[in-house]
Amino acid sequence: MEEIKVLGAGLAGCEAAWQIAQQGAMAHLYEMKPGKFSPAHKSAGLAELICSNSLKAARLDSAAGLLKEEMRRLGSLLVDCAEKCRVPAGGALAVDRGEFSRLATEAIEGHPRIEVHREEVAELPPGPVVVATGPLTAEGLAGEIEKLCGGALSFFDAAAPIVTAESLDMGKCFAASRYDKGDGDYINCPMDKEEYDSFVEALLGAQRAPVHSFDAGAPKVYEGCMPVEVLAGRGHDALRFGPMKPVGLRDPRTGRRPWAVVQLRAENLENSLYNLVGFQTNLKFGEQKRVFGQIPGLGQAEFVRYGVMHRNTFLHSPGLLAGDFSLIKRPDMFFAGQITGVEGYMESAASGIMAGLNVLRRVRGRETVVLPEVSMIGALSRYISSYTGKDFQPMGANFGVLPPLEKKIRDKRERYMALAQRALLAVDWEQARSV
CATH superfamily, region 3-156+312-433: FAD/NAD(P)-binding domain (3.50.50.60)
| Regions of the chain short of the pLDDT cut 50 | 214, 217-224
Predicted pLDDT at 218: 44
Residue 121 has phi, psi (to 5 degrees) of -110, 115
Domain extents for the chain?
3-156+312-433, 162-305
CA 75 – CA 77 distance, rounded (Å) = 6
Predicted local distance difference test score (pLDDT) of residue 182: 64
Element (H, E) at 327: strand 326-327
CA distance 353 to 11: 10
**Could you tell me the pTM of the whole model?**
0.75
pLDDT at 220: 43
Candidates 273, 272, 303, 311; CA nearest to 286 is 303
Instruction: Give the CATH number of domain 162-305.
Output: 2.40.30
What's the pLDDT score for residue 282?
87
**Ramachandran quadrant class, 233 (left: phi over 0; alpha: psi -120 to 50; beta: rest):** alpha
Q: Which residues contact 56 (CB under 8 A, 6 or more apart)?
A: 62, 64, 65, 92, 93, 344, 346, 397
